[in-house]
Amino acid sequence: HSRSHPVLDAYKLAHQYHDSLLEIQGDMLILNLSEKEYLQLKNTDHVVYIGVNNDHVFDSRIKRNSLTKLVNKSSDSNVELTIPEFECYNTVEGTYAEAKSQAIAHPELVQWKKIGESWKKTQKESGYDLNVLVIGADQKNSNKPKLFLQSGLHAREYAPVALNLAFAKYLITNQGVDPEVDWILDNTEIHLLLVANPDGRKKAEEGLWWRKNTNNNYCSDEPNRMGVDLNRNYTFNWFSIENGSSGDECMSTFRGHEKGSEPEIQAIEAYVRSIFPDSRGPNVNDAAPTSTPGLFIDIHSAGGMVMWPWSTTVDPAPNAAGLQRLGRRFAAINGYRAFQSSNLYPADGVSTGLGYGELGIASIIFEIGTQFFESCQTYEQEVLPNNLRALMYAAKAAISPYTITKGPEVVGIRLEGSGQKPVPSGTNINLKANVSDALFRQLADETLEASQSIKQVLLTISHVDTAEVTKEIQLSAADGEFDSNNELISYVLNTENWSEGLYSLYMKAQDQDGNWGTVKGASLVIDNNIENQNVLPTADFSFECADLECIVSGDKSTDDGELTYRWLINDRAPLFGKSVSFNYYETGEYKIVLQVEDEFGFVASTEKTLTLQGIIVPVAVLEYSCDGLICDFDSSKSSDTDGQITHLEWYIDGIYQADYREATFQYEFPVAGTYVIGLFVVDNHNAYDFKEISVEVKDKPVPVKAIVKPVKEASKSGGALMVLLTLLISCFYIRRRWY
């Protein structure tokens, strides 16, 4: 926990200790630290404690190296094709087998190309080839804009490799079915490096918290920490800043002893240079031409972030405006936060240095999901669908990534009345879409990207069999006038006298400054042998909430066919699937919206607001009493309504008091003065409270010694009275000083 800027500091710390991160829960991190790292972190402005009741976290994310279960073996060998207990993720062998099978099945569209070898293979050990899956290469047009996607550079990041492969399969499977995919394959060449670090990936598949490659020339005395961090070994800006990487061979960010020393990086750099021309000058402030085509994306996990260069300085890159717009556009699509890399943590020798720093290609980093070993449920209901949309946009934006984001986006096309179903000619189809020139997501305190009113929206319809454009239609705003940066489109498409077959529909929009956005596509099939009768869908759902998790199900929704389900929960990224789950940690209202769409493009929605009791934070109560420089402190009245306090810490003037860990303690201050006393309490849910008070400590007064003067013998009785009176006055004076 941070005592100063909790949430922001939590994300910064998450990347400083990225290799040790188990989970982020708001402003709290769960880290797997060495004793040395624990003690170092203890001396910072963060409250660090050894957690309790976290065995479930530790077991599910660390102790997987003891698994022996084999899942989904290849039929002709004893090779695992999916990762044990994570069956949504292929192993290296499973990924390569899937990619190779796609190339064999679609030789006219797909190539599986070797670009180099892993470190182990260069040493004549087991090891792997590095391969790129190329989709849409055209020998007649080698100048098509290129999209390069890289994943698996850090071994333990399960979801990026799966996402990259899923994107490939979506493009291949939907060729000739989805007009948007057809447009992409006609206009963009896709290069997918699915597993950039296969040797390390095999270590991670065993459940090890592996990040680097497996070069055993480094940190050989500690086999589980050997290797080089490949994302600190790129040539551009290698070892160029302090704290951007480590020279310690056993550290997770070890950069290697030379730039570009690792065979994996040598292969990647050579390949990327072969497909992208150098579009940027030699000086750090040289900008690439804004017309430069091509896009480089390195997919990592976790944290839900989109980042762009530079990572070595807070100064903006020469193409900062275009990179920022692109990053914020991606964030609006996948629901992540977007910012320049260096705003979070410094790093040198990274992948975007190759793409942008060296070659001037627009370069972006995705940090997807919430964990390295992302659960299959979270991956399938959230990470995959939201980021698949982002990658589809990337494939279209590659034509002009620095400028295409100036134009408005057609957010979606829905053909109400046909949807995914063929319809007979004469059917009226209600085309609905949203067009936005302000599709950006920025942080709350950041300046909004400039946007303009929509000027025009163009619909082009062509018959796939004849490839002829049958209609070009200027669409109008639903309210009758284009006067906003966000417009709804509603247009009745009359299909009377349309010939049978498959039609491609493409929409694009232009703003008042003349900027066009990317193309959005949909398909329509006319079949006069079809007699469609459709019952409109209804949306309804059930829910069950317990132990800080809600499971919501669209089982009460009705339709006469198949439905798709989209869930919106407060301001979180959308979830997809008939049944999904989400966690709630804070007490409050959770607005749940369910949108269902049937096969004919008709939509129904419903919403419910649930009042959920999240974690109740404990209350820290600090009492004290002092006797001179010695003070007694008491936290025994601290309480926790929904659990028990499991950990407490005392701080004096911000310094952790390691010797005092009980509810009460006594402390002798060196000198009088005002001290700030802090009490930090944590409960069994890892909720916490931190209380500080100022305590004024005073010196204990020195007793005054009474002086009794001798009296004359003649007045014994009066003298005795005088002595008694003097003593009383002295004692009173002493008491006054004491208190």
- Average of per-residue pLDDT across 186-212: 97
Q: Give, in words, the CATH class of 623-697.
A: mainly beta
- Average of per-residue pLDDT across 185-212: 97
Q: Which of 367, 380, 487, 597 is catalytic?
A: 367
- d(Cα 594, Cα 605) in Å, to the nearest integer? 5
The whole-number pLDDT of residue 73 equals 47
- d(Cα 683, Cα 647) in Å, to the nearest integer? 7
- Asked if 179 contacts 522 with a C-beta cutoff of 8 angstroms, the reply is yes
- Average of per-residue pLDDT across 124-147: 93
Beta bridge partners of 296: 148, 363
- Average of per-residue pLDDT across 650-658: 89
Residue 469 has pLDDT above 80, yes or no: no
The whole-number pLDDT of residue 701 equals 80
> With bands split at pLDDT 50, 70 and 90, how would you rate the model's confidence at 533?
confident
- Average of per-residue pLDDT across 30-48: 71
Token pair, residue 55, equals 């065995």
Higher pLDDT, 4 or 328: 328
Give me the sheet containing 189-193, strands edge to edge.
Answer: 110-117, 129-135, 189-193, 146-151, 295-300, 362-367, 305-308, 337-340
Q: What is the pLDDT of residues 330-375, one digit of tens each?
A: 999 999 999 999 988 899 999 999 999 999 999 999 999 999 999 9
Max intra-chain CA distance, the chain: 142
- Average of per-residue pLDDT across 461-477: 89
- Average of per-residue pLDDT across 322-329: 98
Residue 457 has pLDDT above 90, yes or no: yes
Residue 179 has pLDDT above 90, yes or no: yes
Query: What does the CA dihedral 556, 558, 563, 565 come to, rounded to 10 degrees?
Result: -30
Higher pLDDT, 134 or 445: 134
Residue 485 has pLDDT above 80, yes or no: yes
Report the range of poorest mean pLDDT among 19-28, 129-138, 644-653.
Answer: 19-28
Report the range of poorest mean pLDDT among 22-26, 167-171, 585-589, 733-737.
Answer: 733-737
Q: What is the pLDDT of residues 610-639, one digit of tens each?
A: 999 998 989 999 999 999 999 999 999 999
> Running DSSP on this structure, what letter comes out for residue 484?
S
Task: List C-alpha distances in Å: 170 to 111, 389, 463.
Answer: 16, 11, 23
Three-state SS for 422? coil
> With bands split at pLDDT 50, 70 and 90, how would you rate the model's confidence at 490?
very high
> With bands split at pLDDT 50, 70 and 90, how would you rate the model's confidence at 53?
very low
Q: Residue 681: enclosing H or E segment and its boundaries? A: strand 673-683
Q: Residue 10: enclosing H or E segment and its boundaries? A: helix 6-16
The whole-number pLDDT of residue 385 equals 98
The whole-number pLDDT of residue 468 equals 76
Average pLDDT across the chain, whole number: 89
The whole-number pLDDT of residue 63 equals 36
> With bands split at pLDDT 50, 70 and 90, how would you rate the model's confidence at 467?
confident
Residue 85 has pLDDT above 90, yes or no: yes
Q: What is the pLDDT of residues 366-421, one digit of tens each?
A: 999 999 999 999 999 999 999 999 999 999 999 999 999 999 999 989 999 999 89
- d(Cα 278, Cα 551) in Å, to the nearest integer? 51
Residue 56 has pLDDT above 50, yes or no: no
Q: Which residues fall within 8 angstroms of residue 366, CB to CB, at 6 or more apart?
A: 160, 297, 298, 299, 300, 305, 306, 330, 334, 336, 387, 390
pTM summary value: 0.87
> With bands split at pLDDT 50, 70 and 90, how would you rate the model's confidence at 531?
confident
The whole-number pLDDT of residue 283 equals 96
Token pair, residue 640, equals 């926790």
Task: List C-alpha distances in Å: 295 to 133, 285, 370, 582, 691.
Answer: 16, 20, 25, 34, 50
Q: What is the pLDDT of residues 86-103, one digit of tens each?
A: 999 999 999 999 999 999
Q: Residue 329: enclosing H or E segment and its boundaries? A: helix 320-334
The whole-number pLDDT of residue 661 equals 81
Residue 43 has pLDDT above 90, yes or no: no
Residue 738 has pLDDT above 90, yes or no: no
Residue 235 has pLDDT above 60, yes or no: yes
- Amino acid occupying residue 678: G
- d(Cα 465, Cα 501) in Å, to the nearest integer? 7
Q: What is the pLDDT of residues 570-606, one digit of tens each?
A: 989 999 999 999 999 888 999 999 999 999 999 999 9
Residue 16 CA, chain-centre distance (Å), reads: 15
Range picked from 77-81, 292-296, 532-536, 704-708 for highest mean pLDDT: 292-296
- Average of per-residue pLDDT across 532-550: 94
Fold for the domain defined by 82-404: Aminopeptidase (3.40.630)
Other beta carbons within 10 Å of 249: 21
Residue 7 CA, chain-centre distance (Å), reads: 14
Tell me: cis bond preceding 302? Omega within 30 of 0 counts.
Answer: yes
What is the CA angle 614-615-616, rounded to 5?
A: 115
The verdict on whether 367 is a catalytic residue reads yes
- Asked if 213 contacts 119 with a C-beta cutoff of 8 angstroms, the reply is yes
Residue 245 has pLDDT above 60, yes or no: yes
Report the range of poorest mean pLDDT among 246-255, 327-336, 453-462, 706-715.
Answer: 706-715
- Asked if 87 contacts 77 with a C-beta cutoff of 8 angstroms, the reply is no
Span 542-612 CATH architecture:
Sandwich (2.60)
Residue 717 has pLDDT above 70, yes or no: no
Q: Residue 14: enclosing H or E segment and its boundaries? A: helix 6-16
Question: 391-394 — which CB contacts under 8 Å span 24+ positions?
Answer: 391/149, 391/163, 391/167, 391/297, 392/167, 392/170, 392/180, 392/184, 393/329, 393/330, 393/333, 393/518, 394/147, 394/149, 394/295, 394/297, 394/330, 394/364
Other beta carbons within 10 Å of 220: 12
Report the range of poorest mean pLDDT among 152-156, 547-551, 650-654, 725-729.
Answer: 725-729
- Average of per-residue pLDDT across 71-97: 82
Please state whether beta strands 129-135 and 21-25 pair in parallel, antiparallel, or not at all (unpaired): unpaired
CATH (one of 2.60.120.860, 1.20.1250.10, 3.40.50.970, 2.60.40.2550) for 407-526: 2.60.40.2550
- Amino acid occupying residue 374: E
Query: By C-alpha distance, which of 281, 374, 329 is closest to 60?
Result: 374
Q: Which residues fall within 8 angstroms of residue 168, CB to CB, at 6 or more apart?
A: 99, 102, 133, 135, 190, 192, 194
The whole-number pLDDT of residue 111 equals 98
Token pair, residue 216, equals 């055993």
The whole-number pLDDT of residue 24 equals 65
